[in-house]
Chains A and B, each alone.
Chain A
Amino acid sequence: MKANLLMNFTVDKENNTVNIKREFDASLANVWSAWTEPEILDQWWAPAPFKSETTIMDFKEGGRRLYAMVGPDGEKRWSSFEYTSISPKTNFKHSSTFCDAEGNPNSAFGSSYWDLTFSEQGDLTVVDIAIKRESLEELEKIVAMGFKEGITATMQTLDKIFEKQK
């Protein structure tokens, strides 16, 4: 595998948008499958030790995905996506909203709007993601929510490094 896969991560506070760009050492077809087929998506979507469990995924325009991020203690945090536009192997767009296990939206948080573009660059595939929130406060809230997952994931990575050094 190519050692240095490019990743760009920028925050556009004026537009309440996080932009993420990443290269993958894989074919466009495989990268597209990994993002759009629930069996593959669940294998990587949640940062370890969290697990992603998709209960509904109807990948078509107007269709939705209902999934939970399952914590190490079994706690589930549900989200639902609604696909608004799909151009196969090129782009898809969806909203994302925190909800309960039945998919009823949590009114404490607004939705975010995702726009994902896939392209081939030589042997690599590039995925360009823009995640837009309704306001900067909403963006900050979402980042705060993710904070705990980030810490947990980081700690686990550290554990692995320490394990190797033993």
Chain B
Amino acid sequence: MKRDIFQAIADPTRRAILVLISANALTPNAIAEQFKTTRQAVSKHIKILNECELLDEKKMGREIYYQLKIEKMKEVDQWLEQFKKIWESRFSQLDQVLMNLKSKENES
């Protein structure tokens, strides 16, 4: 199942996992050790992050290591750009409304 990247980062534990694995490739056990939650809970978070295609998986011996896919996180950098765009479109609508108000004043 393909998930939305914003679903991934909506959860504080998953954000913390992303920060952890941005520096080093870590095994699920090493990730779980960093949190007070159960190993199962951490596995579930990893599964979701994986479904969002945020993780690079590497097998070394019997262990799986996870690392952050940096290029995927660039989408997140575009958030603010998107937020700015909302305001831009709001303001261009407001410009139009203000022009209408002005022409009404001139009529009366």
Alpha-carbon separation in the docked complex, A5 to B85 (Å)? 15
Given contacts A1-B95, A25-B95, A43-B97, contact A150 B80 (CB under 8 A): no
The residue among B91, B94, B95, B101 with the most chain A CB atoms within 10 A of its own CB is B94
Interface residues of A (CB under 8 A from B): 1, 5, 7, 9, 11, 18, 20, 22, 24-27, 30-31, 33-34, 40, 43-48, 137, 140-141, 143-144, 146-147, 149-151, 153-154, 157
Q: Which residues of B contact A149 (CB under 8 A)?
A: 86
Q: Which residues of A contact B6 (CB under 8 A)?
A: 144, 147
B80 touches A11 (CB 8 A): yes
Given contacts A22-B91, A143-B83, contact A137 B15 (CB under 8 A): yes
Q: Taking the complex as formed, is B36 at the interface, i.e. its CB lies under 8 A from any CB of chain A?
A: no
Closest B residue, CB atoms, query A45: B90
Q: Which residues of A contact B94 (CB under 8 A)?
A: 24, 34, 44
Q: What is the 8 Å Cβ interface bit string for chain B, positions 31-58, against chain A (1 contact, 0 not)?
A: 0000000000000000000000000000
B102 touches A30 (CB 8 A): yes
Interface residues of B (CB under 8 A from A): 6, 9-10, 12, 15, 79-80, 82-91, 93-99, 101-102, 105
Given contacts A30-B102, A143-B83, contact A7 B88 (CB under 8 A): yes
Q: Which residues of A contact B9 (CB under 8 A)?
A: 140, 144
| Nearest CB in chain B: distance from A50 CB, A | 9
What 10 A-B pairs have minimum CB-CB distances, sorted nearest first?
A: A150-B82, A44-B93, A26-B98, A47-B89, A44-B94, A144-B6, A143-B79, A9-B84, A153-B89, A150-B85
B84 touches A25 (CB 8 A): no
Alpha-carbon separation in the docked complex, A149 to B88 (Å)? 12
